[in-house]
Amino acid sequence: MNKVLSALESIGPQRYRESHGLWYEDFEAGDTYEHRPGRTITEADNIWQSLINQNNHPLHIDNEYGKTTEFKRPLVSSLVTFSMVGGLSLAGTSARGVANLGWEHIRLVAPVFVGDTIYAESTVLSKRASKSRPHQGIVTVETRGVKSDGTVFMTCQRSFLVPLKASIDTPSGAFNSDEDC
């Protein structure tokens, strides 16, 4: 069975509006989304974001230091790759989300270097109705960062709150993370 998740909503004869993200009903446990396009990491990405994040470890920003390590060059900071994988996976998972509920089981399993092209893919692990917000549900995915050669370099689980399609015209009220998590 081929499931079509359209990115366009018809709003009139031969007129369409881009749809940003998925509804709760669109998610099914076991579905895997390959997020495209990928992203080739540049030296500027690594240095700027490392320094913005106050990560001044020389392994990420000093070419001469990098030459003295087992890698023989600087590593891309995991803060850089983590945020890029999060961004790459957004449109296919939580772009319509109401709230990000958190990450768990973050694993950094292979190095990433400047010049690597990375992709993300997410598998839906579970979904359930929100206990306190009747027009929303909680979806949990496992997201993997994958290099262009197929090497998985990062995995994590993430949960987010997403509206039900039936709730388009229903106000959602205030978010209470203590009741939903």
Q: Which pLDDT does position 175 carry in this prediction?
A: 46
Q: The sheet that has 152-163: what strands, in order across it?
A: 32-40, 117-129, 136-147, 152-163, 99-108
Q: Which pLDDT does position 14 carry in this prediction?
A: 87
Q: What confidence tier does 144 reach under pLDDT thresholds 50, 70, 90? A: very high
Could you list the residue range(s) of the whole structural domain that residue 69 is in?
Answer: 22-166
Asked, for residue 176, whether it belongs to a domain, the answer is no
Q: Which pLDDT does position 6 carry in this prediction?
A: 63
List the Cα angle 79/96/180 in 5-degree steps.
80
Asked, for residue 126, whether it belongs to a domain, the answer is yes
Instruction: Indicate whether 172 pLDDT > 50.
Output: no
Instruction: Indicate whether 24 pLDDT > 50.
Output: yes
Asked, for residue 11, whether it belongs to a domain, the answer is no
Instruction: Indicate whether 20 pLDDT > 90.
Output: no
CATH number, position 125 = 3.10.129.10
The dihedral formed by the CA atoms of 56, 57, 60 and 62, expressed in degrees to the nearest 10: 90
Distance linking the first and last C-alpha atoms of the chain: 33
Asked, for residue 129, whether it belongs to a domain, the answer is yes
Asked, for residue 16, whether it belongs to a domain, the answer is no
Lowest-confidence segment of 26-30, 142-146, 163-167, 171-175 by average pLDDT: 171-175
Asked, for residue 171, whether it belongs to a domain, the answer is no
- Non-local CB neighbours of 139 within 8 Å, separated by 6+ positions: 24, 27, 93, 94, 124, 126, 127, 159, 160, 162
Residue type, 87: G
pLDDT digits (tens, 9 = 90+) for 35-78: 999 999 999 999 999 989 899 999 999 999 999 999 999 999 99
- Non-local CB neighbours of 107 within 8 Å, separated by 6+ positions: 154, 155, 156
Lowest-confidence segment of 2-6, 70-74, 149-153, 172-176 by average pLDDT: 172-176
Q: What confidence tier does 3 reach under pLDDT thresholds 50, 70, 90? A: low
Asked, for residue 154, whether it belongs to a domain, the answer is yes
List the Cα angle 47/52/53 in 5-degree steps.
100
Q: Which pLDDT does position 21 carry in this prediction?
A: 84
Q: What is the mean pLDDT of the chain?
A: 90
Residue 173's region, left for phi above 0, alpha for psi from -120 to 50, else beta, is left
Q: What confidence tier does 138 reach under pLDDT thresholds 50, 70, 90? A: very high
| For range 1-27, the mean pLDDT | 80
How many domains, in total, are found in the chain?
Answer: 1
Q: Which pLDDT does position 152 carry in this prediction?
A: 98
Asked, for residue 173, whether it belongs to a domain, the answer is no
CB 173 within 8 A of CB 158: no
